[in-house]
C-alpha cells in the first residue's frame, strides 16, 4: 500500500519556534565542518557541548542522541557525514540515526540537513527518508500481546527541497517493503495458492495484466523441470504467474522482464535438509517478492517501457511422489536434465520460467533468487552475487550496487564451468555432485534457458537476510534488490 505519510519540505533551516514545535528531530551535518555548522542551528551551543563529550559525529556512523533544553525537551539524533561517505555507509548511518526518534511511534518528526547544498543535500535527505520509510514499514506479527504504535503522518524536512519530492524514494521503499512483508509471512500463510491470491489483488489495484500457468497448463508446455519440483506437493497449487505493466504510451519492444524464484517452503525434498537448515526456508520465495516489489516501484514511477514479471511459485515437498536423484526430466525447451540433488530445486523452476519468459524477447531479463549457499559462503550476507551473459555490463553492475547502497559482486561464468554439468544420460546435470563452485555452476545451468541471445542478469540473493538489518533497512529480511534494479534500469539506463 502507498505510504499514508505527508512530506513537508523547507529549503531553509528551522528556527527556534519550529524546533520547539516537535518532540523528535534528526539532524545530519558535514563531519568536516561539524562545529561550525552546528553553530547555525538553534540551541547550537548546547548541541555542540554535548557532542564534544564524544568524537562520534566526526567519525560518521555513530549518532549522538540528546534532549534539547526547551520546554518539551525535544529529542535530537545528530551525526556527521561527508561527501565521500559511500551510499552504503550513508544509508547505514541513516538507519542508526532514525532508530531512536521513531522508537516511540511519533506522529510527526523533523529532519534537518545543514551545511550541505544542491545534489549533496538531496543525497543526505534521501538516505534519511529511505531509512524512515523502511523503519515504519509493517512486518508480519502474530503476537497476542503487542503494543500498537501510531502511524507516522508527517515528516518536516529542512535544508533540502528537490523538485521531484522524492517520488522515487517513496516508490523504492514501497517495493522494498512489499518484498520484506511477503518474505516474512510464515509458510502456512503464504502457500503458492495464498500467494497467488495476494498477487491477484495487487494486479487489480495496479492495472497489471495477470496470467497464471497452473500445473495443467505447464504440462501442455512440457515444462518438466518445474513440474518435477511441483509433483511432490499434496496440493496442486504450484504454477508460474506472469504479470505485465504497459506504459500509457504503449511501447511493445525494449522492455525489461523480471523473474523471481518463489519456493514457498523448501524441505530439500528427498535430499532432506537437517532441522537447523530447514528453519527459515519459508523465505526461499524472496526472489519472487523482490521481482514483484521492483514491478510495483516501476509502476509507481510510470516508467515509459513495458515491464513483465514472472514468478515461479512452488513448494519443495518430501513425499512418495517427490522427484528423486537420477530422475531425468525434460524442460519446456526440450533440454533433458539429470537430477542430482533435489535440494537444488530453485534452478529447476527457474529453468522453465526463464525459457518461457525468453519467448517475449525482452530487451533484458533480470532474475532474482535465493539460489545457493555457496554464494553466501563466498561473499557473506552483506553483498549479493551477480552473473551476466554480457561481460560489458559488469562495471555497470558494480556501479549500480555501489550507488544504490545494495552492493553486488560479479562472479565468472565461463564456458569451461560446464564440465561440472556434463551428464552421461542427459543433456545436462542439474548440479554437480560435490557442489563445486555451485553458485557459478548454477548460473551456467540457468544461462542455458535464456533464449534468443537476450541480455540476462542473475542476482543470487546472498544478502536477502542480514541479522540486525542492512544499509537503511532495520529488519533481518532486507528485501535486497529493488533499489539495485531501479538504479540499473533508470540511472545506468541498461535498456536504453
Q: Which of 34, 22, 37 minimizes the C-alpha distance to 62?
A: 34
CA separation for the pair 366, 309 (Å, rounded): 10
Q: For the residues 231-259, what does the mean pLDDT come to?
A: 90
Q: Is the pLDDT of residue 177 over 70?
A: yes
Output the CA–CA distances (angstroms, integers) from residue 129 to 104, 429, 467, in the order listed: 18, 47, 22
Span 6-162 CATH architecture: 3-Layer(aba) Sandwich (3.40)
Q: What percent of the chain has pLDDT over 90?
A: 90
CA separation for the pair 200, 351 (Å, rounded): 24
Instruction: Render 351-392 in DSSP notation, one character per residue.
Output: HHHHHHHHTT--SEEEEEE---HHHHHHHTTSSEEEEES-GG
**Tens digit of each residue's pLDDT (9 = 90 or more) over 18-30:** 999 999 999 999 9
**Tens digit of each residue's pLDDT (9 = 90 or more) over 110-119:** 999 999 999 9
**3-state DSSP helix/strand/coil % of the chain, to nearest 5:** 40, 20, 40
CA separation for the pair 179, 370 (Å, rounded): 13
Three cell numbers at 100? 531512536
Task: Supply the mean pLDDT for the chain.
Answer: 94
Q: Is the pLDDT of residue 496 over 60?
A: no
Provide the pLDDT for residue 6.
93
**Tens digit of each residue's pLDDT (9 = 90 or more) over 391-444:** 999 999 999 999 999 999 999 999 999 999 999 999 999 999 999 999 999 999
Output the CA–CA distances (angstroms, integers) from residue 70 to 18, 19, 67, 75, 78, in the order listed: 12, 9, 8, 10, 17
CA separation for the pair 90, 480 (Å, rounded): 16
Active site residue 251: no
- In degrees, to the nearest 5, what angle opens at C-alpha 202 toward C-alphas 196 and 208? 100
Q: What CA dihedral angle connects 92, 98, 103 and 104, to 10 degrees? A: -170
pLDDT grade for 253, boundaries at 50, 70 and 90: low
Instruction: Render 219-238 in DSSP notation, one character per residue.
Output: HHTT-HHHHHHHTT-SS---
What's the pTM? Answer: 0.97
Q: Is the pLDDT of residue 197 over 80?
A: yes
Output the CA–CA distances (angstroms, integers) from residue 358 to 112, 453, 487, in the order listed: 48, 9, 23
Which of 193, 221, 273, 451 is catalytic? The answer is 273
pLDDT grade for 83, boundaries at 50, 70 and 90: confident
φ/ψ of residue 78, rounded to 5: -130, 145
Decide: 344 and 442 in contact? Cβ < 8 Å.
yes
Q: Is 306 left (phi over 0), alpha (psi -120 to 50) or beta?
A: beta
Q: Strand pairing of 75-81 and 64-67? A: antiparallel
Provide the pLDDT for residue 165.
82
List of long-range contacts for 202-206, beta carbons under 8 Å, 24+ apart: 202/292, 202/296, 203/243, 206/245, 206/296, 206/299
Name the CATH superfamily housing domain 170-491.
Answer: Zn peptidases (3.40.630.10)
**Tens digit of each residue's pLDDT (9 = 90 or more) over 134-144:** 999 999 999 88
Q: For the residues 295-312, what does the mean pLDDT come to?
A: 97
CA separation for the pair 475, 139 (Å, rounded): 9
Provide the pLDDT for residue 59.
52
CA separation for the pair 105, 207 (Å, rounded): 33
Return the SS3 of 150: coil
Q: Is the pLDDT of residue 58 over 60?
A: no
Q: Which of 36, 8, 381 minimizes the C-alpha distance to 159?
A: 8
Provide the pLDDT for residue 56.
61
CA separation for the pair 447, 175 (Å, rounded): 27
Run of H or E residues at 293: helix 286-300
> What is the Cα gyration radius of the chain?
24
In the chain, domain spans? 6-162, 170-491
Q: For the residues 209-225, what does the mean pLDDT come to?
A: 98
**Tens digit of each residue's pLDDT (9 = 90 or more) over 334-374:** 999 999 999 999 999 999 999 999 999 999 999 999 999 99
Q: Which of 169, 334, 332, 363 minimizes the C-alpha distance to 258?
A: 363
Beta sheet of 154-158, edge-to-edge order = 6-10, 154-158, 108-113, 24-30, 75-81, 64-67
Active site residue 273: yes
As a whole number of Å, the end-to-end CA separation of the chain is: 30
CA separation for the pair 373, 50 (Å, rounded): 46
Provide the pLDDT for residue 53.
83
pLDDT grade for 61, boundaries at 50, 70 and 90: low
Q: List all residues 6 or more positions away from 491 whose beta carbon is below 8 Å from its beta carbon.
A: 400, 403
The tally of CA atoms less than 13 A away on the side-chain side of residue 306 is 17
CA separation for the pair 25, 17 (Å, rounded): 13
**Tens digit of each residue's pLDDT (9 = 90 or more) over 387-397:** 999 999 999 99
Provide the pLDDT for residue 347.
98
Q: For the residues 468-493, what does the mean pLDDT come to?
A: 97
CA separation for the pair 306, 325 (Å, rounded): 40
Which of 95, 96, 261, 347 is catalytic? The answer is 347
Three cell numbers at 440? 557459478
Amino acid at each position: 500500500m502507498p505510504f499514508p505519510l505527508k512530506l513537508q519540505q523547507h529549503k531553509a533551516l528551522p528556527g527556534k519556534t519550529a524546533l520547539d514545535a516537535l518532540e523528535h528531530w534528526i539532524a545530519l551535518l558535514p563531519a568536516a565542518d561539524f562545529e561550525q555548522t552546528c553553530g547555525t542551528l538553534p540551541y547550537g551551543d548546547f548541541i555542540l557541548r554535548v557532542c564534544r563529550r564524544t568524537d562520534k559525529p566526526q567519525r560518521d556512523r555513530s549518532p549522538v542522541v540528546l534532549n534539547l533544553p526547551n520546554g518539551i525537551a525535544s529529542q535530537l539524533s545528530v551525526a556527521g557525514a561527508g561527501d565521500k561517505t559511500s551510499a552504503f555507509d550513508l544509508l547505514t548511518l541513516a538507519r542508526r540515526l532514525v532508530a531512536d526518534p521513531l522508537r516511540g511511534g511519533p506522529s510527526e518528526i523533523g529532519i534537518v540537513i545543514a551545511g550541505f547544498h544542491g545534489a549533496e543535500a538531496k543525497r543526505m535527505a534521501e538516505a534519511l527518508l529511505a531509512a524512515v520509510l523502511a523503519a515504519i514499514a509493517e512486518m508480519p506479527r502474530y503476537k497476542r500481546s503487542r503494543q500498537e504504535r501510531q502511524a507516522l503522518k508527517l515528516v518536516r524536512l529542512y535544508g533540502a527541497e528537490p523538485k521531484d519530492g522524492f517520488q522515487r524514494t517513496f516508490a523504492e521503499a514501497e517495493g522494498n517493503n512489499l518484498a520484506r512483508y511477503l518474505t516474512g509471512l510464515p509458510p502456512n500463510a503464504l502457500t503458492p495458492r495464498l500467494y497467488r491470491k495476494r498477487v491477484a489483488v495487487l494486479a487489480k489495484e495496479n492495472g497489471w495484466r495477470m496470467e497464471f500457468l497452473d500445473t495443467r497448463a505447464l504440462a501442455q508446455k512440457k515444462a518438466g523441470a518445474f513440474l518435477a519440483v511441483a509433483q511432490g506437493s499434496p496440493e496442486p497449487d504450484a504454477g508460474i504467474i506472469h504479470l505485465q505493466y504497459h506504459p500509457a504510451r504503449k511501447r511493445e519492444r525494449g522492455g525489461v522482464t523480471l523473474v523471481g524464484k518463489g519456493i514457498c517452503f523448501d524441505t530439500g525434498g528427498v535430499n532432506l535438509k537437517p532441522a537447523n537448515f530447514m528453519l527459515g526456508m519459508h523465505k526461499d520465495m524472496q526472489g519472487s517478492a523482490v521481482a514483484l516489489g521492483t514491478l510495483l516501484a516501476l509502476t509507481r514511477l510510470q516508467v515509459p517501457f513495458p515491464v513483465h514479471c514472472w514468478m515461479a511459485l512452488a513448494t519443495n515437498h518430501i513425499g512418495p511422489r517427490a522427484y528423486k536423484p537420477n530422475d531425468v526430466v525434460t524442460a519446456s525447451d526440450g533440454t533433458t536434465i539429470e537430477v542430482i540433488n533435489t535440494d537444488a530445486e530453485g534452478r529447476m523452476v527457474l529453468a522453465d520460467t526463464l525459457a518461457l519468459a525468453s519467448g517475449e524477447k525482452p530487451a533484458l531479463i533480470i532474475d532474482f533468487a535465493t539460489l545457493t549457499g555457496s554464494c553466501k559462503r563466498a561473499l557473506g550476507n552483506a553483498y549479493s552475487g551477480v552473473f551476466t551473459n554480457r561481460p560489458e555490463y559488469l562495471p555497470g553492475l558494480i556501479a549500480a550496487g555501489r550507488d544504490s547502497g545494495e552492493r553486488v559482486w560479479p562472479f565468472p561464468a565461463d564456458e569451461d564451468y560446464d564440465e561440472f554439468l556434463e551428464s552421461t544420460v542427459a543433456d545436462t546435470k542439474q548440479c554437480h555432485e560435490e557442489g563445486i563452485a555451485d553458485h557459478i555452476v548454477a548460473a551456467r545451468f540457468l544461462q542455458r534457458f535464456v533464449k534468443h541471445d537476450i541480455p540476462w542478469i542473475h542476482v543470487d540473493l546472498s544478502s536477502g537476510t542480514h541479522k540486525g538489518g542492512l544499509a537503511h533497512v532495520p529488519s533481518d529480511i532486507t528485501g535486497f534488490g529493488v533499489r539495485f534494479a531501479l538504479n540499473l534500469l533508470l540511472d545506468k539506463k541498461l535498456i536504453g
